[in-house]
Structures are given as C-alpha cells and as structure tokens.
Structure 1
Amino acid sequence: MGRWGITLPLTAVPLAEHRDLVRELPDLGYTDVWTAETAGTDAFTPLALAAEWAPELRLGTAIAPVYTRGPGLLAMTAATVAELAPDRFVLGIGTSSPVIVRGWNAQEFTEPYARTRDTLRFLRSAFAGQKVTERYPTFEISKFRLERPPQPPPRIMLAALRPGMLKLARKEADGAITNWLAPSDVPKVRAEVGGGFELVARVFVCPTEDVDAARGLGRLLISSYLTVPVYAAFHDWLGRGEALKPMHEAWAAGDRQRANEVIPDEVVDALIVHGSPRRCREIVAQYVESGLDTPVISVLPTGEDPRKVVRALAPE
C-alpha cells in the first residue's frame, strides 16, 4: 500500500483529545496527517503535537496561506515544525481565498500566482540558512536569516488547480496539492505535472448509507466552495461548467437555497465520497489507481464519533 492520509484535527473533537487516535494511526495503516487552515485551528500547532504523539507519521499543511503571515514568520513557523519532525514535515502553501485573506485577515489579495511563486523562492533561500535581502516582485525582504535553519529543509508543495500553478509546482516545488476533484479528474491534473512528481489531494468522505443525507451535506459544501472564483474556474477546466451553471446563476442572484437544489446528483456523487466505509475506501483507492500519490481523507459529519469513523476508513 502507498500513502494514506487523514485530515486532522477532527472538527467535533478538541485538539487535546486527539492524542490516543494519533498514536493509533500508524498501526491502522495511515501514513500521513495533514492540516488545513480556515477558521478553526491553525495549520501548524496540531502538527507539532502529532510530531510527538506519533513520530512515524509524515506531517503536512494543506495549506498555509502565503498572505496571512509575513514571509519571515511563515519561514519561522515551518522551521519549528520541521525541527520537531526532521524529514517528516511537508510545507504546503497556497493562495487560500479572498474571504480568508481579505475578509478575515485584513490583507490584500493581489497577484496570487506571483505571490505564491515569490514566497516559494524566499522560503527556499531561508531554509538554506541564507541571509535574505531581496526585492521580489510582490514583496521585499531585508536581512532576514533563520536562527535555526531546519536540517534537512522541509519539502515545499504548492496548492494548485489549473495548468499555470500546476506547472509552477512542477518547475519549482516538491509536489502539488489539489482539492475538490473526482477520481476521473485525476488524469487531467496528472498530465500537467507528469510522472515522478508527488500529487496530493484532499478527498471529502461521508461514510453513511443515507444517500439523501450525504447528498444534502455535499450540496451545501459544493455551493460554498465551488462558487469561489478559483474553484469555479477549476471546474470549468475539468468540464463541469455547464452542469454547475444553474448553481452559479442562483448564487449570483442571492438565492442560496436554489443554488443547492440545482446541483446535479452526479456532480455531488463525483465529488463527495459516500456509502459504507468499505465502499468509501474503495473509491478513495480509485483516486490512487487514477494517478494520485497521496489521498488525504477529510471526514464529513455523519452523527457518529469521528474517531470511530477514522478507524473504519483505515486501509485494509
């Protein structure tokens, strides 16, 4: 078996109560723990704990936004986790979204491609222990040097959806992290980065045989995420533009209920893995068979204790 990741922390479980589960993960067959950063925990603190709780696991951020910390602070924070988990930490960076960057963090969301590229280049220099004085196209750094450059430097992956960012990831990063795609979409994304290059994807999994409940939750998530311009463009590129057009029209008109109702079942079923735990594992495996290197399961609420669900979704 290859890599099999899980997104932590689980929404309904306090961070301190994850210890026993994290210690179990390697024996269950999980290889990776990845975090996200929206409005819950930050992306790094859970990984610092996991580094101590289960030293066998690879740890990654998916993703840390390039706008919400200054470049120096981002380097310092990543270097701290890299020191706690030598050769086991992956720094995933990306643009995040205008809502998170501008609406919640009062930062400008401008030139996302260039800002990501410049941050990646700065981090390479900082992790190498260089004193960085550089005028990048999107920011300027003067005389920054990490006091404790991580040894070895962490791998850096880029959040990437469409060809431009995927090609940047292939050229300058150590892998690409993608999101909100079906197993059938993986070959198109893989074609942009080629072989021998790690492709990671978060996979939304709702292990319940209540199809209506799973689709209802899936519709809420899809209308919340895929109306964000970058995800709308991604799904246009993947070929779902016409299927999602009614949703976009209703959303633009301010009719959120209608936007949910007009999302076709086949789109929900393609993007949200649901069914029995066995069926969910089989579908996650289809992502790998289609060209994904590292599936990272994100457990959606089913009414069960999510720790039990994580155990049920472990690879066989």
Structure 2
Amino acid sequence: MKLGLQLGYWGAQPPNNHRELVTAAEEHGFDAVFTAEAWGSDAYTPLAWWGSDTQRLRLGTSVLQLSARTPTACAMAALTLDHLSGGRHIVGLGVSGPQVVEGWYGQRFPKPLARAREYIDIMRQVWAREAPVTSGGPHYTLPATQDGTTGLGKALKPIVHPLRPDIPVFLGAEGPKNIALAAEIADGWLPLFYTPRLADQYNEWLDEGFARPSARNTRDTFEICATAQIVLTDDPEAAYAAIKPFLALYMGGMGSEDTNFHAEVYRRMGYSDVVDDVTALFRSGRKDEAAQIIPNEAVDDSAIIGDEAHVREQIGVWEQAGVTTMLVSPGSADEIARLANLAR
C-alpha cells in the first residue's frame, strides 16, 4: 500500500505547515503529494511551490476543475510542471458541479462525461505533439468557428516539446457512469468518499470501463488513489466529532438541495434518511445539529479512526479492496512518520 499526502485546498488563510509536511512525506517514503481547489486557492500554484522542495514524490492534483481552464491551458500547465519536476506530474481532473461551474466560472454544465472525454483527448493531443491540435467539439472546438469569431484561428502544436508524450491522467468520479469512464479513458481513479464495504460494486463499474474497446488500462495497470481520513487516536469520539462537520457540509451543503453528487455517494452507501435529515438541517442554518445527527458508522465507512493496531488492520482492508494509494491528511511530521510505519 502506497501513501499520498493530500494537502487539499486552503481555508480562510494559507496553511503554515505544508512545507514541513511535504518534507516529511518525502523523507518517510510517501509516494505522492496532491493539492486541490474549490473556489479559493488553485491547485497548481501550491503544487509547484511545495513540489520544488522535492526530488522523488509524484506531484498530483486532486482535483483540477475542468471549467477553470480550457483543455489546452490545462495541458500547458501540466507539461510545464512535468518538465520542472522531471516527469513526476499526475493530472487529476474532475467536472465539479453546477453550483461551482455556473456560479463561480460562469460556464455551462451540460453532459459532464462527454466534456471530460473531449477535454482529455485534447490534452493528450497537446502532449503527443504529433500534429496541430484540433477538436470538432461540440464542447471544445479548435480552432474556434463559433459565431463572433474572426475565422483566423489556426491549429497549433505546443512550442515546448513535452518531456513525456503521455502524462498520467486520473479522474475524480463518484457516480457509476463516471467511474466506468475513468476506467476507460484515464490512468487512475480519485474517489473522495471511498468505502471498502462497496468494493464489489465499484469493481463492477470499473470492469465496465476496462471492457470497452478503447480502454487504456487493465486492472493491473490502473491506480485507485482514495482519500482516506486516518486519525491515530485513543479518543475516537473526539475524532468523530471533528470529522462530522466536514461530512455535513458535503452531504448537505454542496451543490443544490436537488443536485449534490456527494450526497448521492452516501445514499448509495445506504444513508438516504441521514442525507435527507442532514440536508434539511444544514440548509436551514442548523449546521451544528446537522453534524451531530451523522452516525459514527457513516464516518467509519470512509475513514479510519483508532489506535495503531486498528489503523494497521484497516489499511490492509483497503488494500484488499483494490486501493493502490491512500491519500491522507496528517497534521504533523510525527503523524506522517507513524502512518508510514503502519503502512509498511
């Protein structure tokens, strides 16, 4: 089992210990470091900043939002960081949701799976650098031919020769169709709320993608990098209480009341009634109550909380379920050292 350091995205202020965490992750044999974005800090800037201190760690995004960048802009950033890191970059992508796509980026949110397929195809054209990059759309048309364009657009190849002609792409996916798409067109899957309890169900969806004629990978060459809240503690109740507000936000406050992809993940886990109640409380401003009604079992489904013996045992359970890398968010260098020892 490999470990990855998940730095996430910033809160109200920049974190003050990420350099220390990245240094410790490299020292203790972590495989990768990942950054994220929502509608505040971006993913690429801190990844390049902290990644410049590393020599071995793979540098990944978990995840870049498709609507934040055109596919060619994303491909440019990726080939740049891949050169600077000596070929250690992983491009983690996700479609986000209509609340962010339309509310923050001012973009439309139709056909997310088709957009992801087209987006990744364009990026791979850039990195292959075999011919000028073109796309017939309908979501990304290159050169642009829409009404209002000059008609002077020209298909181009990148000036810079990419270090690698095929940079790994991982897809953040939560629904059955999107997970199958990840298995078909991507090199890895980045689940946010993964539970080993549903591994058989995930494998069915992944196998659907692997079976498609255009599939790039098999199960043996495909990576599953699952976010895992791991808390080493002799006081589990305090850890549950700390995690539940985060779950309440994702269950009840992300997206709209009717369109929340994270809530659907927990419905598939069997918590439909909990999701309904959390959503009603959260959206009426009773956020503390929303967190308090989440059962410990819902936290345990996608987190590991307990002493070293319990954590070591559960890491094995996740590995047996098919997870190749656990993305963890320890708060100190000491926690990183302890987790690295347990994963061994």
> Shorter-chain TM-score: which interval?
0.7 to 0.9
CA RMSD of aligned residues (A): 2.7
C-alpha spacing 1:83/1:189, structure 2 compared with 1 (3 Å): same
Deviations 1:147-187 (A, max 9, x none): 21422131111111122111111111112111112232333
Deviations 1:284-306 (A, max 9, x none): 3421121111111123xxxxx63
Q: 2:24 touches 2:336 (CA, 8 Å); kept in 1?
A: no
Give the AA of the match of 2:334.
Answer: K
Structure 1 residues without counterparts, runs of 5 or longer: 300-304
Once the two structures are TM-superposed, the CA of residue 123 in structure 1 deviates from its matched residue by 0.9
Once the two structures are TM-superposed, the CA of residue 11 in structure 1 deviates from its matched residue by 5.9
Q: 1:9 touches 1:18 (CA, 8 Å); kept in 2?
A: no
Looking at structure 2, the residues matched to 116 and 47 of structure 1 have their Cα atoms a distance apart, in angstroms, of: 22
Once the two structures are TM-superposed, the CA of residue 17 in structure 1 deviates from its matched residue by 5.5
What does 1:70-81 align with in structure 2 at a 5 Å threshold? 70-81=70-81
Aligned to 2:191: 178
C-alpha spacing 1:234/1:19, structure 2 compared with 1 (3 Å): closer
Give the AA of the match of 1:141.
Answer: L
Give the AA of the match of 2:302.
Answer: L
Structure 2 residues without counterparts, runs of 5 or longer: 144-154, 208-218, 255-259
2:338 to 301, 312, 316: 312
Aligned to 1:6: 5
Aligned to 1:302: none
Once the two structures are TM-superposed, the CA of residue 221 in structure 1 deviates from its matched residue by 0.9
Looking at structure 2, the residues matched to 110 and 120 of structure 1 have their Cα atoms a distance apart, in angstroms, of: 16
**What secondary structure does 1:8 align onto?**
strand
Looking at structure 2, the residues matched to 253 and 110 of structure 1 have their Cα atoms a distance apart, in angstroms, of: 29
C-alpha spacing 1:264/1:9, structure 2 compared with 1 (3 Å): closer
Looking at structure 2, the residues matched to 27 and 252 of structure 1 have their Cα atoms a distance apart, in angstroms, of: 43
Q: 1:47 touches 1:60 (CA, 8 Å); kept in 2?
A: yes
Q: 1:132 touches 1:145 (CA, 8 Å); kept in 2?
A: yes
What does 1:14-93 align with in structure 2 at a 5 Å threshold? 18-19=18-19, 21-39=21-39, 41-93=41-93
2:318 to 271, 283, 287: 287
Give the AA of the match of 1:212.
Answer: E
Give the TM-score normalised by structure 2: 0.80
Q: 1:200 touches 1:293 (CA, 8 Å); kept in 2?
A: yes
Give the AA of the match of 1:107.
Answer: Q
Deviations 1:44-90 (A, max 9, x none): 23332454322211221111110011222111111111112343211
Deviations 1:70-127 (A, max 9, x none): 2221111111111123432111111123343333334333332222121111111111
Indicate the percent of aligned positions where both proteins have the same amino acid: 27
C-alpha spacing 1:221/1:91, structure 2 compared with 1 (3 Å): same
Once the two structures are TM-superposed, the CA of residue 35 in structure 1 deviates from its matched residue by 1.3
Looking at structure 1, the residues matched to 159 and 34 of structure 2 have their Cα atoms a distance apart, in angstroms, of: 26
Which is higher, the Rg of structure 1 or of structure 2?
A: 2
Q: 1:79 touches 1:127 (CA, 8 Å); kept in 2?
A: yes
**What secondary structure does 2:329 align onto?**
strand
Give the AA of the match of 2:142.
Answer: I
Once the two structures are TM-superposed, the CA of residue 141 in structure 1 deviates from its matched residue by 2.1
Q: 1:34 touches 1:61 (CA, 8 Å); kept in 2?
A: yes
**What secondary structure does 2:55 align onto?**
coil
